[in-house]
Structure 1
Amino acid sequence: MEQEHHHHHHNHGNAEKNISIAFYLNAFFVLVEIVGGLLTNSIAILTDALHDFGDCLSLATAWALQKKSTKGRDSNYSYGYKRFSLLGSVFLSGVLTISSIFVLVAAVRRVLYPEEVSAQGMLWMAIIGIIINGSAAFSVKKGSSLNERAVYLHIMEDVLGWVGVLVVSVVMMFTDLPILDPILSIAISLWVLSNVYKNLKSVFKILLQAIPYDVPIDELTSKITDISGVESIHDLHIWSLDGESHVMTLHVVTDVADHFSIKNNILDIVSQYHIVHVTIEFEPIDSICTTDCDCL
């Protein structure tokens, strides 16, 4: 006998809206950078415009996948499309890794062969860059999905980059140290790469169906076995769909005829752990479990 339970409590519409705001701000800033780069004759700013154009393509992809992830289940995906947001996170992380490596190569070359830059032009572009990219970062900062976290990292790379440009441009207005620019660029790229690693680690744990980090398995097991009428539980499996919504299946051994009350007690407990889909199989005490896996 199987009992199933479904409920939804996360607002994926907010994630979609947040990413769309970030996309529009980024697209606008690409135009600003092209104009600013031409006016200041700065190849660095024009290069960043190209980098931001790549960001726009990435954000558009992330936005589309986030929108797809809000679809409910159908005949193709019985759990719905939540995991599509993870594809956005993987894609963005890949783009970030590649772009960071290109930046590192260019920065090392610039350390070896420093070039003169327009400090005053850099200063004004940095102020505009911090305002626009900062607004985009703020729009996705409070998001809880891994896709939003990847987008946030993407934009914070630009925010930190422009903060660096601001500091370097001020220093260079008083001292001739063009080498500061590439050194700062290297530091930011390494920070971005370390965060990409952490984000991808979280994504792959979900794809490999690890027990979600926010579900204390021993505590959950103890609470369920403490329910009146529950003799024991086994064949317990918990995994996450997208890092926010989790799924659980388990076998409950009981000699109580009223399975409904036990089921409701279990659902009350698991609802505290972002578990949105539960499948419960009840077994009498003297039955033999047919599963042949080593499970919890």
Structure 2
Amino acid sequence: MSQHHHHHHHVSGKNLLIAIILNLTITLSQVIGGIFSGSLALLSDALHNFSDVLTLLIAYVANRLSHKEHTESKTFGYRRAEIIAAFFNTSVLMAVAIFLIYESYQKLINPQSVDSLTVVWLGVLSIFLNALGVLLVKDDAHHNMNIKAAYLHLLTDMVTSVAVVAGGLLMYFYQIYWVDPLVSMIIALYLIVASWSLMKVSLSVLMQFTPEGIAIQDIINKIKETQNGIENVHHVHLWQLDDHSIHLEAHLNFQDNISLQECSAVLDSLEKVLKKDFGVTHTTFQCEHNRCQVMNAIV
């Protein structure tokens, strides 16, 4: 067995903490404003912002856990904590969205007057504070699925706050109060679209599915093409441990009864090729001779 060391991008927990404080400020102001103004769009945005506070808190804890060292009882450490957090957070977003669609439908049937100026000013505050949060975590979102989930929350909040302000202005100038639940429904649908792909990816990692864009048959072909002495490759498993680590295990059936030294040279060569061509960061190979004649068995 051999392993490649992969250099991870270091994610800043401090930026997440600042984003949590910003979102807590938005949430409290929008809850109070939503109750006093009678605006569902503002309360929807507040609920969305509160889900952000939870998201960012979970992301922060998961981020801290993922840096803990592995132990004998936890040989992989807590490296999956951030994937679990990403899945949980996107699931929460979906649940919030479904609730908002139901509430918006009720209000569309029976529109009520809204204190539109409160809606506009609190929407503007939310845009400004969310924009700060987005800037804080933007760089880390490119390297980390967990932070990307948190970043998506902040970004959707910023966009939905723009919709809240637009709705508030329409209500203020034209007294079109059905715009409020309509904006709320648009926010909810946007949440579902924004969350779906990340939810799918994080679930796929948790279920140890083959990473997207890599075909196991291509890996088998590459192994046999790189080393002519390998008769067949079987018991192949390929999975992602976290954002950065792709693991491969396989049994290699050799044509000749080669020495351990020759076998090690073959494994070194395969590691380099598989890392370069498929991004595999960790390989576990079992070398065999005349043990299994099944060709290319993925079992």
Q: TM-score range, shorter-chain basis?
A: 0.7 to 0.9
Aligned to 1:247, what secondary structure does the other structure show? strand
Describe how 1:279-290 pairs up with structure 2 within 5 A.
279-284=284-289, 287-289=290-292
Aligned to 2:11, what secondary structure does the other structure show? helix
Q: 1:62·1:147 contact (CA, 8 Å) conserved in 2?
A: yes
How far, CA to CA, are the matches of 2:297 and 2:224 in structure 1?
A: 19
Residue aligning to 2:225? 226
Shift of 1:237: 1.2
Shift of 1:247: 0.9
Residue aligning to 2:172? 173
- When the two structures are superposed, what TM-score results if normalisation uses the length of structure 1? 0.84
How many pairs align?
288
Shift of 1:236: 1.8
Matched, 1:109 2:106: yes
Matched, 1:86 2:90: no
How far, CA to CA, are the matches of 1:58 and 1:125 in structure 2?
A: 21
How far, CA to CA, are the matches of 1:217 and 1:140 in structure 2?
A: 35
Residues 275/195 of structure 1: CA separation in 2 closer, same or farther (3 Å cut)? same
Residues 21/259 of structure 1: CA separation in 2 closer, same or farther (3 Å cut)? farther
Aligned match for 2:265, one of 245, 254, 261: 261
Shift of 1:207: 2.1
Residue aligning to 1:162? 161
- When the two structures are superposed, what TM-score results if normalisation uses the length of structure 2? 0.83
How far, CA to CA, are the matches of 1:53 and 1:269 in structure 2?
A: 47
How far, CA to CA, are the matches of 1:176 and 1:205 in structure 2?
A: 47
Residues 228/157 of structure 1: CA separation in 2 closer, same or farther (3 Å cut)? closer
Aligned match for 1:58, one of 55, 59, 81: 55
Q: 2:37·2:116 contact (CA, 8 Å) conserved in 1?
A: no
Which ranges in structure 2 are unaligned for 5 or more consecutive residues? none
Which ranges in structure 1 are unaligned for 5 or more consecutive residues? none
Render the CA deviation track for 1:266-294: whole Å, top value 9, x for unaligned.
1112223332221122223xx21399x95
Render the CA deviation track for 1:39-89: whole Å, top value 9, x for unaligned.
x93243466445534432332122102221222322222223211112212
Aligned to 1:282, what secondary structure does the other structure show? strand
What fraction of aligned residue pairs are identical, expressed as a percent?
26
Residue aligning to 2:242? 242
Shift of 1:265: 1.4
Matched, 1:20 2:24: no
Residues 21/222 of structure 1: CA separation in 2 closer, same or farther (3 Å cut)? farther
How far, CA to CA, are the matches of 2:177 and 2:244 in structure 1?
A: 45
How far, CA to CA, are the matches of 1:210 and 1:53 in structure 2?
A: 32
How far, CA to CA, are the matches of 2:14 and 2:219 in structure 1?
A: 34
How far, CA to CA, are the matches of 1:50 and 1:192 in structure 2?
A: 12
Aligned match for 1:8, one of 3, 6, 9: 6
Aligned to 2:197, what secondary structure does the other structure show? helix
Matched, 1:192 2:187: no
